Amino acid sequence: MTFLEIVFYVFSAVLVGSSLLVVTVRNPVRAALFLVLAFFSAACLWLTLEAEFLAITLVLVYVGAVMVLFLFVIMMLDIDIAQMRAGFANYLPLGLIVALIMAGELILVMLSGEFGDTQLPRPVGHDADYSNTEALGKVVYTDYVYTFELAAVILLVAIIAAISLTLRRRPETRYQAPEEQVKVRKEDRIRIVKMPPRPEEKP
């Protein structure tokens, strides 16, 4: 077994184990954290395929941003663990059926012979000065530039849609206008009054 294979099996074991724990662990916050571990292990597996750009982007986007927002929401939920356990037996048969069907479909696809070593040969390792990042950039901005820009436009539309859906006009809320605040001069606010000092009154 080469060193790379050991690395692969270690990270795969962590990935499968943490994915199992995501669905079995009771505490939702812990489940989200196991999902973080699963993403991270997947990123490490991608690194062994020389796809360092994709691997680091996976960590950056999913671990660094998406899961933080997930945790943000999950932590604010008021969770009753006993109530969550109660429904387990009811959902179990349906869940098992869905899981079995999905596993069966995956096995069928894998056994179809389209994914053997002959159709998808192992990727050949590159030299030390090969840059996956650069290669990816060149492909994305030349061959796939239309799809890339289309995806960008769709994301922009999604951003605008999300903002306009959640934007509420609330006229009763009072906001500060910083641009007005910084324009204020001393003369607008205070009046300096000159007064002669009064002699102290004797009691």
**Among 53-61, 97-105, 138-146, 159-167, the segment contacting other proteins (CB under 8 A):** 53-61
* Cα–Cα dist 148/138, whole Å: 12
Contact with other proteins (CB under 8 A) among 7, 21, 29, 45: 29
Q: Quick check: 48 binds other proteins (CB under 8 A)?
A: no
Question: Nearer Cβ to other proteins, position 8 or 28?
Answer: 28
Smallest separation (angstroms) from other proteins to the CB of 123: 17
Please work out, in degrees rounded to the nearest 5, the angle formed at the alpha carbon of residue 53 by the alpha carbons of 52 and 55: 60
> Where would I find the H helices in 117-177?
132-141, 145-166
d(CA 194, CA 123): 87
Using rule CB under 8 A, residue 57 touches other proteins: yes
Phi, psi of 190 (to 5 degrees): -125, 155
Q: Please, which residue, 8 or 70, has the CB nearer to other proteins?
A: 70
Contact with other proteins (CB under 8 A): which of 8, 19, 21, 53? Answer: 53
According to the binding rule CB under 8 A, does residue 59 interact with other proteins? yes
Out of 10, 13, 16, 65, the only residue in the binding site for other proteins (CB under 8 A) is: 65
Told to check if 68 binds other proteins by CB under 8 A, we report yes
Token representation of residue 21: 């724990």
In sequence order, the 6+-apart residues with CB closer than 8 A to the CB of 7 are: 44, 48
C-alpha span between 74 and 51 (Å, rounded)? 32
Rounded-to-integer distance, Cα 72 and Cα 28, Å? 12
Q: Please, which of residues 139-158 interact with other proteins by CB under 8 A? A: none
Q: What is the contact surface with other proteins in residues (CB under 8 A)? A: 27, 29-30, 33, 36, 52-53, 56-57, 59-60, 63-65, 68-69, 71-72, 75-76, 131-134, 178
